[in-house]
Amino acid sequence: MAKETKEKAKEEAKPKVQGNIVRMAGRDINGDKKISEALREIKGIGHTMAHAISLHLKSSAGLDYNLHIGELTDEQIAKVDSAVRDATNSSIPSYLFNRRMEMQTGKDMHLVGTDLIVKEKQDIDNDIKLQTWRGIRHRTGQKVRGQRTRSTGRTGATIGVMKKAAKQQLAAAATATSAAEKK
């Protein structure tokens, strides 16, 4: 009996998760995850950036990063969302940003979600238009970052990959058929 009451007390002490799914930065995030863990699900935010954002939230908004994202109120979720979208205006160091010294503006930026996807696509299109080495590799569908291409990265049908004995048999058969056709 005492054991059951202890278990009930533990369950009541646990905060209830408000919702299972939280929408943030164009992404549905599981409400059972802690703040820094949940931020990593957003494209453009890695481990160190999520930790930096959660530390910034702790100092500015007073949010503990051990809280589950589903436990937050709507105002707190809005604060987290604005911290994610406006990381350049916070106390986060610039070496964690994903677009430092951007080509058009010359400013440090941190993009997340679809903004990052669109900007990467624009960069690739710009390289193709300028006919840089990277642009040529992108246009032809080859590897861009200096990887080896002799044995990997092959696409399409495999042609000309045979063992030496099979090649000799094929050549002998071809010469036999050509000799028979001449007669």
Q: How far is CA 19 from the centre of its chain?
A: 25
pLDDT above 60: residue 11: no
Q: Please report, for the domain that includes residue 69, its CATH number.
A: 1.10.8.50
Q: Say if residues 99 and 110 touch (Cβ distance below 8 Å).
A: yes
Domain holding 135, by residue range, is: 113-153
Please tell me whether residues 138 and 70 are part of one structural domain: no
Helix 74-85 × helix 47-60 angle, to 10°: 130
- Give this prediction's pTM: 0.65
Strands 21-24 and 27-30 come out as: antiparallel
What is the tally of structural domains in the chain? 2
pLDDT digits (tens, 9 = 90+) for 48-66: 999 998 888 888 878 887 8
Sign, CA dihedral 34-52-77-101, equals negative
Q: Say if residues 44 and 113 touch (Cβ distance below 8 Å).
A: yes
* Two tokens, residue 45: 């935010």
Please tell me whether residues 132 and 65 are part of one structural domain: no
pLDDT digits (tens, 9 = 90+) for 134-164: 999 999 888 888 888 888 877 776 666 667 7
- Distance between CA atoms of 79 and 57, rounded to whole angstroms? 8
- Distance between CA atoms of 95 and 87, rounded to whole angstroms? 12
Q: What is the mean pLDDT of the chain?
A: 82
pLDDT digits (tens, 9 = 90+) for 83-103: 888 887 778 888 888 888 888
